Structure 1
Amino acid sequence: MRSAIIEAANGRKRCHNKRDEPVPTYYRREGQVKMRNKKSWLGTAAMASLVLLAACGKEEGADGTGPSADGQKAPAGAKAAEPVDPNKQVELTVYSMLSGNYEGFMASEGQYIQRKYPNFKFKFIAPGTGTSLKDVVTAKTPIDIIISTPDVQPIIDVGLDSDISDLVQKYNYDLNRFLPVTIDSMKHITGGKLFGLPGRVSSYTLYYNKDLFDKFGVPYLNDKMTWDDIQETARRLTRVDGGVQYYGFAGDIIAMLDMNEKAPQYVDPKTQQATLSNDYWKRVFDRLVPLYSMVPNFAEPTKLTNLTTSRNMFSKEKSVAIVIGVNDAGTRAVSEKWDMNWDISPFPSFKSNPKEGPQPSVRYYLVSATSKFRDEAFAAITQFVSDDVQRELVKEGATPPLQNVGYADLLASGVPELKGKNVKALIPPVYGEMNMKDQYYIAARAELINGFNKVIAGQKDVNTALREAEEAANKKIAELKSK
C-alpha cells in the first residue's frame, strides 16, 4: 500500500491538497498564522463563520465549567476534569477526509494542541492512492482522530464511528459552549449520537464594490437591508456604461438554495427519491430568479451563479457590484490583491422569512472507533476548541463554532488589511439548519442548479425546470445506488 502517512519524526509525506468544503486552513507566514484555501471562498482551511447568537447568556470560562453532558447544570463550583496529564507522551494518528498534509495540519491544529500537550506527536493521513478510508481500515491502520465534514456516512460505512457522549460525561465537558446548530445537526445526522466536536465554521456574506456604487450614485449597503432591498439596489447598479455590462448582483447559488430556517429536503430520506418538483422549490425559484435575471435571457447564467466565476467578475473584472462570497475576506483580499474600495454587508434575509439564514459549513473532529487512545484524542480535540486557542484564531479572521459573545469584538483584529472594514458582517445574523450532505443530496442539488440556470437563461419556465430537474436527479440517484 502506498502510504500517505506523514511522519512527525522524519517529515516523510505523500498527500494531496484537494479541498471539498468551504472551511479555512492556516499557514505560517512571517511568524503569523494566516488562512489559506484553494477552493472555497472562505478557506476550508477556510474557517470562517461564527454566528454569535444574541441570546448566548453569560460568557463561559476557559476552564470548561458548565453543564454536564445531559444538559443539566453542573454543581456550583464544579470544573471539568482534566482528560490526561499534560506531560503524557503519545502519538496520535489523524485522518483528514478533507485532504491536506502534515505541515498544514500542524500549522492549523497541531501546534495549538501541543501548547498544552507538548509531548503529543502526530501522524497524518490524507485520502490518496492506497490511503482511502476503506484502504486504511482494511490495512488495520490505527486511527485516533478523524477530521470530517458533516457527511459522516463514509465513516459509518467503514465502522469508524464512535459516540463520545461517555467522554463528554466523564470529563463534565460543556457542550453549551458551541453554537447549537453545530451540535444539533451532528446529532440529527447520527440519530442522536455525538461522534465529535465542531472545530471550524464557515458560511457566506456579501461583499460590495464601493467604487461602482460611487460611479453610479447609489447609496452603500447597510446592515439592516433585506434581500428585497438588495434586489432593488442591484437593479439600480445593473446597466451598460462605456460599452461595459455591469451586473448589480451575482454569487454562489448554493448559498441561496440552502438558505433556510428549517433545512430543505432535496431527497426524501425514506424513499431516497428527489423532491424538487414541489411548491417549496417553486417558491424558492420565484423569489431568487429576479436577483439573477436583471439582464434578460443572459446567455451565460453560470457566470453569475457559480462561486468562482462570480468572484472573479467581482474582484478581477470589477463588473459585479455585489457578490455572495464565503466569509474569508482577510484571506481573499490579500491573496487576490483587491485593488478597489470594497466592504462587507451581512447575509440578508427576506422580509417574509426573517429567521432564514445561510447554512454553516462545519468541520468536525471525531474520535475514531479504533483508537486505543480515546481519552488522549478527546483531550487534543478539546484543547483545539478551547477559548484560548479559538480566541487567537478569531483575531486572525477565523470564525469559530462557539457562542461566546466576547469573540465578536476580536474578530479579525489581527488582520491589518481588514482595518476599517465592516468585519462583524462576516458573521451571519442567523444560521439555517444544516442538510445532510450525502451523495444523493449532492446529485439532486446539482440538477436543481442546472434547472435554475436554464430559467435564468430563458430556456425553461420554473415548473418545467423543476420537473426535469427532479427526473434527472432520480436518474442519477438510481445510478449511484447501482454502483
Structure 2
Amino acid sequence: MLIGLALSLLFPLLAACSTKKDLNDPANRRTLKIGTLYGSKQDETWFRQQFTDMFELTHEGIDIEVVPAIDWSEQQFEPQDKNGRQKQPDPLEKAKAIMTGSNPVDVMIFDMNMLSTFANENLLKPLDPMLKEDKIDTAEFVPSVIDAIRDAGNNNIYALTPTFMPTALYYNKKIFQDTGVTLPADGMTWDDVFNKAKQLTKGSGKDAIFGFSFNQWGGSGENFWDIQNYVAPLELKIFDDKAEKMLVNSPQWEKAWSTIYDLYKAHVFPRQQDMNVDQPMTDRAQYNPFQGQLFLNGRVAMTLGDYGMINQIQQFNDNADKLKMKKLDWDVVTMPVHATVPGVGGSYSFNSLAGINSKAQNQDDAWEFVKFMNGKEWAKFKSRSTYEMPSRTEFIKEREGMHYNVKAFTQLKPAPWMGSSLNDQKLYRERPNLNMMQQLVNNAYMSVFQGQKSVKQALQDLETKGNDVLQKIKLNPDGPLEGVFDDVYGPAKPMDSVQAEAVPAG
C-alpha cells in the first residue's frame, strides 16, 4: 500500500514534468496559430518582433503562424464602386471568421472594442481557472486595467494585456507659479480645472496664455471630437438603444455644450488660428519642430495627453537650448472627473489584448503564450517602451532622469467610450449608415461655435434632423442616403462677431 501510494503521487509529478518539458522539446514540434486584426506578409516581421519572437526563442518546440483577419496586401486590390471607394471589411466579422472557421486560430490579439462581443458570444476561453491553477495573482496588475477587462467580460477575465495607453492632465508649473494659482492635484473635478483655467488665461497675440486645451495641437473645443473625454464618464447617448429616437435635446447635453462654448468664447481654449501667431515667416528663421504645440511652447497651462506625450516633452527639453527656448517645467495629475461620477475619467487604449479562442486546437500552448506574454519576464522588457505603460504595477516607474507623478496614469477607472457598448456595436454592424450620425452631431456642434445658433436651438434642430435621418437609416441601413448633410443651420455669422461676444480674458 505504501509503495502504491508513493507511485500514485509520483506519476502525476512525472507527467507534469514531461508536459512542461514537451513545451520546449524541438523533437515535439507544434504550430501555434495567432490571429491579429490587421496585417500582411509584408509587415509580419514587425508583428513578430512585438509579440512572438521572445516566446519562440524560449519555446523551441513551438512554431508561430500569424493569421491576419484583414490582409492589407489583398485589401488594396479590392474593386472600387462608381465613386472610387473600396468597400471596407468589417473587422469584427473578419475576426470571427478566423476564430470559427475550419482551421481556427488558437490565440487572438485584439483591441478593447471587441472584448465584450467576443465574451458574450463565447468566442473566448475564460482565463480565471488557469490563472488560479498557475497561481497568477491579478492583484499584481494595475487594478483599473483588470477592472476594465472584467467589466467587458461580465466579471470574468477573457483576455490579458501586457501594456496599455492611459491619459492624464499635464500642466506647466511656471504658469501656475507666475499667476499664483494653486497647482493641480489628483482627483480634481472638471469644474476645478475649468475654474483654474479661467484664472490662468491672459494676454493676446503671441503673448497669450491659454488656461486649458483638450489636445496639444490647438483648435481646442472647436469640434465635437474634442470633448469626448469630457462627456464620456457621463455616458450621454446621441440616440436610444433602438437607434430610432434622438436623445440630444436634454438638460445634460445642453449643459455640456454650453460649458465648453462659454469657455471657448472667453478664449480660455486656444483656437486654430492661435497656433500660427508666432510662426516664423522667413527662410532664415530657425526651424522649430515643435511649432504649433502650444503646451510645449509654454502658452497653454493645462492639456490632456496620453502616456506617450512624455516622449515629446523629453525631446523638447533635451533640445530647448538649441532652439533657444525655455525648458518646460511640468508635471501630471489624474484626468479630471465629474462630481456625479467620482473615480471615473479619461480613456485607456488596449491594443494588445490576448485571449484564447474557445475553438483553439492547441489550447495548452495557447495558454502558455498568453501567460508568457503577460508574465514578469515580458513585462521587464516591455517596461522600456516609451509609448505604452506596463500593466504590471511592479514595472511602472518614472523615466530615467525624470521626476513626475507617474501614479496619475493609473488611479482612475477608464470611462466608457461613446458607442462602445455591446448594443451600440451591434447596431453599427447592422446599420453601417449610423456612422453618419457622428458627422451630423459635429455639424450641429459647429453651428454653435460658428455663431449660427444658440446651444438650445442647435440641439432642437439636431433632434428634429436626427430623428428623420434615423428613420431613413432604419429603412436603408447601408445603402446611399441623399440629403443627410444638407445645411439646415442657417447662414454663418462672421467669426469676428462671435469673438466680440467673448468675455474678456484675464
TM-score bracket, normalised by the shorter chain, equals 0.5 to 0.7
Q: 2:197 aligns with which of 212, 234, 252?
A: 234
Which runs of 5 or more residues in structure 1 are unaligned?
1-78, 304-309
Among 410, 416, 427, the alignment partner of 1:427 is 410
Q: Of 362, 378, 383, which residue of structure 2 is paired with 1:373?
A: 362
Distance 1:155 1:129 in 2: 27
Secondary structure in structure 2 of the residue aligned to 1:325: strand
Written as runs of structure 1 = structure 2, the 5 A alignment for 1:463-482 is 463-470=456-463, 475=469, 478=473, 481-482=477-478
Residue from 120, 125, 129 that aligns with 1:169? 129
Distance 1:90 1:185 in 2: 33
Residues 97-146 of structure 1 deviation map (CA, whole Å, 9 limit, x = unaligned): 26594333333322443465344333334431436656784896753332
- Pick from 145, 149, 152 the counterpart of residue 114 of structure 2: 152
Aligned residues of 1:93 and 1:125 also touching (Cα < 8 A): yes
Residues 221-260 of structure 1: pairs in structure 2 closer than 5 A: 221-223=184-186, 225-241=188-204, 243-251=206-214, 252-260=226-234
Gaps of 5+ in 2: 1-15, 76-88, 215-225, 276-289, 321-326, 429-433, 480-506
**Partners of 2:201 and 2:301 in 1: CA distance:** 8
Cα distance 1:355–1:155, how it changes in 2: closer, same or farther (>3 A)?
closer
Contact 2:189 2:337 in 1 (8 A): yes
User: Which amino acid letter does the alignment assign opposite residue 170 of structure 2?
Assistant: Y
Q: Distance in 1 between matches of 2:274 and 2:460?
A: 20
- Whether 1:130 and 2:74 are equivalent positions in the alignment is yes
Counterpart for residue 39 of structure 1: none
**What whole-Å deviation, never above 9, does each CA across 1:298-357 have from its counterpart, x for those lacking one?**
875998xxxxxx995335655322111112233333566684313222212244543332
CA distance in 2, matches of 1:241, 1:161: 58
Cα separation, partners in 2 of 1:296 and 1:426, compared to 1, 3 Å: closer
C-alpha separation in 1, matches of 2:465 and 2:163: 34
Preserved contact between residue 160 and residue 369 of structure 1 (Cα < 8 Å): no
Greater mean deviation of Cα atoms: 334-343 or 368-377: 334-343
2:137 and 2:238 mapped to 1: Cα distance?
Answer: 30
Q: Assess if the C-alpha contact under 8 Å between 1:91 and 1:120 holds in 2.
A: yes
Q: 1 CA distance for matches of 2:439 and 2:273?
A: 15
- Alignment partner of 1:386 is 2:372: no
Alignment of 1:80-229 (within 5 A): 85-87=22-24, 89-97=29-37, 101-114=43-56, 116-126=58-68, 127=70, 128-130=72-74, 137=97, 142-152=104-114, 162-165=123-126, 168-169=128-129, 172=132, 176-177=138-139, 195-213=158-176, 216=179, 218-223=181-186, 225-229=188-192
Instruction: Provide the C-alpha distance between the structure 2 equivalents of 1:129 and 1:185, rounded to a whole number of angstroms.
Output: 34
Length-normalised TM-score, structure 2: 0.61
Name the residue aligned to 2:389: 399
Backbone CA RMSD of aligned residues: 4.5
- Mapped to 2, the partners of 1:423 and 1:91 lie a distance apart of 40
Could you say what secondary structure the match of 1:97 adopts? strand
Amino acid corresponding to residue 46 of structure 2 in structure 1: G
Give the Cα–Cα distance (whole angstroms) in 2 for the partners of residues 170 and 106 of structure 1. Answer: 25
Look up the match of 2:84: none
Q: Aligned with 2:46: secondary structure?
A: helix
1:93 is paired with a residue of what secondary structure?
strand
- Cα shift readout 1:185-234 (whole Å, capped 9, x = no counterpart): 55665677765334433232112234544555555433354322321221
Q: Residue 282 of structure 1 aligns to a residue in which SS?
A: helix
TM-score, scaled relative to structure 1: 0.63
Q: Which amino acid aligns with 2:163?
A: R
**Cα distance change on mapping 1:389 and 1:460 into 2, 3 Å:** farther
- Higher RCO (Cα < 8 Å, 6 or more apart): 1
**What is the one-letter code of the residue matched to 2:361?**
K
Match of 2:241 among 269, 294, 303: 269
Greater strand proportion: 1
Q: Deviations over 1:34-79 (max 9, x none)?
A: xxxxxxxxxxxxxxxxxxxxxxxxxxxxxxxxxxxxxxxxxxxxx9
Percent sequence identity is: 17
Structure with more helix by fraction? 2
Q: Is the 8 A contact 2:295 2:302 kept in 1?
A: no
Q: For the Cα contact (< 8 Å) 2:122–2:358, is it kept in 1?
A: yes
CA–CA separation in structure 1 for the residues paired with 2:49 and 2:439: 34
CA distance in 1 between partners of 2:266 and 2:448 (Å):
13
- Please say if 1:361 is aligned against 2:349: yes
Quickly say closer, same or farther: Cα 1:86–1:332, change in 2 above 3 A.
Answer: farther
Question: CA contact under 8 A between 2:144 and 2:411: conserved in structure 1?
Answer: no
Counterpart Cα distance in 1 of 2:409 and 2:376: 20
Contact 1:143–1:368, Cα closer than 8 Å, also in 2: yes
Tell me if 1:455 matches 2:440.
Answer: no
